[in-house]
């Protein structure tokens, strides 16, 4: 499957490039392009911070300017919070990713452009793009760390496009709660043992004491391991030591 290209324009810190590469790979993205990284390329700090995502750093492609970096792409998103100044369509990360997938499915190559840590994308960079992705953010504090911005967009990619396998695996192991009959078996045994210990006393409280126990255990969502643990507990508690 073709995937979006993440393009970092004039990134400053190798640490941020490495962290971006790592989170890209966490979320299934591997195509990284770098435009004139301030501290040169390759960069040791990028390798260190990429952790297990080193393959993304190793395969990153270096460009000297924006035009070279996007020439071969059909559609480029700019990521910026200052979307109102530009007469371009503005997408949320989720909308943008879904639209990117549509474009890719119809044979287009797609880039997503992120600006430098200092001030994000410049006007002329945004003008070179087809549309804008804007991350919804606290009006009082809009400045998102570069690798976190890459994280949000990459997360939406994996969540919306690639996570099917992840979901299926989770569903296979979906938590199964025990059937009512198994809870009844437990409650019966518990009550029987409480009976032996003199729990149900005085007589006019028997009904409410029973109801309390029923209310408790029938309202719990219990799994098989939960129930096994409960059986173990009452078995152990009844021992006269």
State the residues that interact with its own copies by CB under 8 A: 19, 22-23, 25-28, 51-53, 83-84, 87-90, 92, 94, 134-139, 141-145, 147-148, 151-152, 155, 158-159, 162-163, 165-167, 169-170, 173-175, 221, 223-226
Q: How far is the CB of 206 from its own copies (least distance, A)?
A: 32
Considering beta carbons, is residue 175 or 198 the nearer one to its own copies?
175
How many angstroms separate the Cα of 73 from the Cα of each of 63, 69, 91, 108, 120? Answer: 14, 8, 19, 8, 21
Nearer to its own copies, 52 or 198 (CB): 52
Give one DSSP letter per residue of 42-73, joined into a string. S-HHHHHHHGGGHHHHHT-EEESSHHHHHTT-
Q: For residue 78, which of 64, 96, 62, 60 has the smallest C-alpha distance?
A: 96
State the nearest-atom distance from the C-beta of 128 to its own copies, in Å: 15
DSSP, collapsed to helix, strand or coil, labels residue 112 as strand
Between residues 138 and 236, which has the closer beta carbon with respect to its own copies? 138
How far is the CA of 43 from the CAs of 46, 60, 125, 148, 151, in angstroms?
5, 11, 24, 20, 21
Rank residues 20 and 69 by Cβ distance to its own copies and give the closer one.
20
Q: How far is the CB of 60 from its own copies (least distance, A)?
A: 16
Determine the Cα–Cα distance for residues 180 and 63; give it in Å rounded to an integer: 64
CB of 170 to its own copies, least distance (A): 6
Nearer CB in complex with its own copies: 1/175: 175
Look up residue 213 and give its DSSP letter.
H
Q: How far is the CB of 199 from its own copies (least distance, A)?
A: 27
Provide φ and ψ at 90, rounded to 5°.
-110, 130
CA distance 241 to 239: 6
Q: Looking at beta carbons only, is 69 or 121 nearer to its own copies?
A: 121
Report, in Å, the least distance between residue 216 CB and its own copies.
16
């Amino acid at each position: 499957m073709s995937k979006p290209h993440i393009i970092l324009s004039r990134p400053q810190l190798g640490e941020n490039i490495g962290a971006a590469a790592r989170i890209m790979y966490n979320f299934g993205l591997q195509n990284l392009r770098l435009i004139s990284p301030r501290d040169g390329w390759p960069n040791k700090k990028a390798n260190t911070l990429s952790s297990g995502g080193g393959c993304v750093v190793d395969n990153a492609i270096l460009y000297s300017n924006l035009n070279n970096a996007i020439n071969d792409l059909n559609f480029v998103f700019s990521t910026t919070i200052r979307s109102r100044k530009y007469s371009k369509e503005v997408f949320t990360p989720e909308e943008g990713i879904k639209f990117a997938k549509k474009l890719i499915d119809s044979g287009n190559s797609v880039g997503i452009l992120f600006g430098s840590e200092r001030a994000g994308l410049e006007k002329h960079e945004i003008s070179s793009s087809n549309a804008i992705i804007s991350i919804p953010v606290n009006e009082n504090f809009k400045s998102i760390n570069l690798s976190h911005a890459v994280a949000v967009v990459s997360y939406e990619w994996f969540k919306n496009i690639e996570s099917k396998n992840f979901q299926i695996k989770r569903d296979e192991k979906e938590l199964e709660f025990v059937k009512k009959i198994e809870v009844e078996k437990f409650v019966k045994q518990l009550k029987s043992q409480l009976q032996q210990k003199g729990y149900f006393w005085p007589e006019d409280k028997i009904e409410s004491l029973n109801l309390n126990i029923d209310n408790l255990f029938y309202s719990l969502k219990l799994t098989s391991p939960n129930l096994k643990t409960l059986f173990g507990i009452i078995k152990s508690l009844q021992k006269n030591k």
